[in-house]
Chains A and B, each alone.
Chain A
Amino acid sequence: MSLYRTELRRLGKRRFARWATVLGLLVLGAVLVGVFFTNQKIGPEQQAAAQRQAEQEYQQQVRWAEQERKACEQAKASGQDQQQEGRFPPDCEMITPPPPESIEARWFLPSTFDFRASFEEMIVTFTAILALLGFVIGASFVGAEWSSGGMMNLLLWRPQRLTVLLTKLAALLTGLVAVTLAAATLWTAGFWIVGTLRGTTEKMTSGAWQSFALTGLRGLVLIMVAATIGFALASLGRHTAMALGGAIGAVVVGQFGLGIVMSMAGARFVEAWLLPTYGLAWMTKKVTLEDWNACNATYYGECKPATFDLTWQHASILFSVVLVLALGSALVTMRRRDVA
């Protein structure tokens, strides 16, 4: 227990962990402020303005249709329509303005933040930022210990290698859970305020809250997995750069490279090879990929693209395999390799 408390203290004292956390929170704050200033509350005034703008648009369409019809008749009378083949229909009377109801006033409403409709996306954003933060802090927490000799010093005091490594991981995850929960509370409160002042918080039933809570819980798990993988990779390479280099390598080779190769090979559902798709599938429970090169004819003669559903179960299998491989390798290495 003393080791666990000590590692928590160590995590709190680490300058990189502090600054990275502050930076992550600043990014979250910037997103929140950005959403606040790019949204407005919709009231009777905004509705009336949108209505006016829709009416103006309709009038403009009417004028434009009239001009075009006249131009069409003139062209046909002068025989010029032969030279402008395709510009006008065979019968100029076919040029009519759209019906008034086809131009909807809601198109002209300013952007507004609907808490119920939009907060899930915000949870995904929150998770992405904190998962990155967790990965980097996790890698640094153990990587810097290895490269500075701190780990060797600690092992001189506590010569139980696996206990030391797992206790460090436990302290890291505890710290991250604390930061995540605190930040998530502020994040939710912040967007509730955005919804209240710059949109709406209507229709928030207990079911909606429950759905958000479950999405948030999946987000927390993803953040923990990212931190653990960063921690494991850095421990494996005994340097922070091992995890960061591995991550950059995975992105460049495994994501961009693989994506390009798969596209060139004409593979179906290229996104299924990209890691972020699995992150999204985990968070939103399902991502439907579409292959626009395929045509599935319907009974009504429509051509629908082929689809492939990636579910949270697929994502959980992938993340579990990566987690077990990374952490397992780190533990085996910690147990077997000499500390020199």
Chain B
Amino acid sequence: MSAVLEIEGLRKTYKSRRQGVRHALDGFDMRVEQGQVHGFLGPNGSGKTTTLRTLLGLIRPNGGRMAILGQEVPAALPAVVGQVGAIVESPQFFPHFTARDTLSLLAGAGEVPQIRVDEVLELVGLRDRAGERVKTYSLGMKQRLAVASALLKNPKLLILDEPANGLDPGGIREMRTLTRDLAASGMTVLLSSHILGEIQLICDSVTIISLGRRVAFGPVDQVLAEHSGGAVRVRLEAVTDLPAAADALSRAGVAVTAHPDHLMLAGVEKPAQVSRILAGQGLYVSELAPVTVDLESVFLELTSTAPVPGQHRQVDQSTRVGDAGQSGAVGGGWGA
């Protein structure tokens, strides 16, 4: 499978006389394969939007390499931009133009046939409100308009930064369906979102960024499996057998946590091995269930951004690669 988007070692540094140097992107890597829906996750201030802006030529990087559709950017951006549709951060449009005018002017600037304007308005559900000024739109409607503007070019790569922001539940579902349909039609979609349930539902693969560096990447299932920790829940027919079972498993090298009615095991590569050990001791399992993790818990673990009672986590208070698990260990803000 060929890569539609490649980023290697991307760096962006902001310098301030008062606050020193901040590395918004600190050697960030990313790869998005053709035809995939790729989730791009990260806490606030982790560098997601900086990455997208840099990729699209709005911000100059301090180092690294980027390529879209096999062409190096930003040098080849004018050549490939016709195949890239993007919305970056919150939708921003001139408030006194109508949605149709807004799209028509963009189509004119990008040499896209005007007939496409009505097609995308229909697609995002704004057909009947297209003649109204953007300033009268709700956030969700502006979001739809932003998606319409990104789709106007019928791009090969679609970059959506928080597309579900402000959408009602119906709109979120429509956006999910739309994204899937677009991917099914061969379009590659890069989706940045904080709605991790959506990402898990829609995306084939993900990249998680924290403090400007990639902390996890790959197919969603693989990322979840890598971070489930091989946890297994065991119940026995007789609760009174739990201490004996815990003892047997501990002697076999399995990490065991005892609970009143079950045992939690960690680091189990093959659950069948648990069943074999216990049967050898005359103990019979009534439940042997690998514990699945969701993307949200993986995200919170990898970025160390899980809320801690009594603490107020600050933006940029997150984790560095290799520091996972040390919640709040690194303040990634301005520093020397």
Contacts and interface: CB of A to CB of B under 8 A. Distances in A.
Contacts of A14: 96
A2 B97 CA distance: 19
B78 A160 contact: yes
B95 A148 contact: yes
Contacts of A150: 92-94
Nearest to A161: B57
Nearest to A145: B94
B113 to A, nearest CB: 11
Interface centre among A10, A150, A153, A160 (most CB of B within 10 A): A153
A268 B96 CA distance: 51
B94 A2 contact: no
Given A152-B58, A152-B92, A338-B59, A159 B53 contact: no
A6 B110 CA distance: 9
B272 interface: no
Interface in B51-94: 53, 56-60, 74, 77-78, 81, 86, 88, 91-94
A325 B99 CA distance: 37
B149 A15 contact: no
A340 interface: yes
A13 interface: yes
A158 interface: yes
B108 A6 contact: yes
B58 A340 contact: yes
A144 interface: yes
Contacts of A338: 53, 58-60
Contacts of B88: 152, 156
Nearest to A13: B101
A238 B91 CA distance: 18
A10 B105 CA distance: 7
A9 interface: yes
Interface residues of B, number: 28
Interface in A129-166: 144-145, 148-150, 152-160
Contact of B93 (A149, A158, A159, A160): A149
A156 B111 contact: no
Nearest to A158: B109
A95 B287 CA distance: 134
Contacts of B111: 2
Given A148-B92, A148-B94, A153 B106 contact: yes
Contacts of B91: 149
Contacts of A13: 97, 101, 105
Contacts of B101: 13
A339 interface: yes
Contacts of A152: 58, 88, 92
A236 B206 CA distance: 39
Given A2-B108, A144-B94, A159-B78, A153 B59 contact: no
Interface string B104-138: 01101111000000000000000000000000000
Contacts of B93: 148-150, 153
A280 B57 CA distance: 45
A31 interface: no
A338 B91 CA distance: 18
A167 to B, nearest CB: 9
B110 A157 contact: yes
A159 B109 contact: no
Nearest to B54: A338
A149 B105 contact: no
Contacts of A304: none
Given A149-B91, A339-B59, 10 more contacts: A6-B105, A9-B108, A13-B105, A145-B94, A152-B88, A153-B92, A157-B81, A338-B53, A339-B58, A340-B58
A2 B104 CA distance: 12
